[in-house]
Amino acid sequence: MGGSVFHRHGMCADSEIGMRRLLVIFMVMLSCGGSAQTGDRQIVDKINRATSALASMECEFVQTKSVRMLNEKMVSKGKLYYRRADKLRWEYVSPYSYTFIINGAKVYLRNNGRSDVIDVNRNKMFKEIAAIMMNSIVGKSINDVKTFRTEIKDEAQEWLITLTPQTKEMKQMFERILLHFNKQLSVVDKVEMYEKKGDVTVISLTNIKKNQKTDASLFTLD
């Protein structure tokens, strides 16, 4: 992915699609993403407090995608790093290598050893999506009924949160998204995304570490 993404329209489109999906994943991990029913406000308040207390997080993840047309599952593994309020590293390590980083107004991409840097201020769509993610992190989107309708089930070990898309863009991508909020860890540790075309992606987080010092070098590329 060498060279400027702005001069490679096909690459730009692919990068934008990838960014959309990664930001949706991360957004829903850190926020209920919508307005909950009145009876769920106490739970939402607890989730808001947990989100506000999250200064940093790192973990490993396993992503399993079930492709309806192919009747098979694709499994990939990676690592996630986050530091409040504008730093994110999402890195696939197996079976392929792909790194996606947000650091303020910069987006860094690395695929098969080839790197790119994007200034979100020069791309309206990138800027809007980055803003959605950051608003979610600080809890501003928790009452945003334009994005998702939220329903919550209180289970023994977790809160099961169902997000139903409300915006045109989200409706085109997803039927629904399920979040598994671990009560003991006070963080989402599993995300299920049901796409319009029938594919299902499940992301499970493991070895979660919160509020530890993270190396600044993680949020840039050499």
Give the Cα separation of 102 and 201 in Å (integer): 22
The pair phi, psi for residue 201, each rounded to 5°, is -115, 130
Domain boundaries, the chain: 5-210
CATH 2.50.20.10 assigned to domain 5-210? The reply is: yes
Asked if 107 contacts 95 with a C-beta cutoff of 8 angstroms, the reply is no
37, 44 contact by CB (below 8 A): no
pTM: 0.79
Per-residue pLDDT of the chain (222 residues; tens, 9 = 90+): 333 332 333 334 444 555 556 666 665 665 555 555 555 778 877 777 777 788 888 999 999 999 888 888 999 999 989 888 788 898 999 998 989 888 888 888 888 778 888 887 777 666 666 665 555 544 444 455 677 788 888 899 998 888 888 888 788 888 998 888 888 988 888 888 898 889 998 989 999 999 999 899 999 987
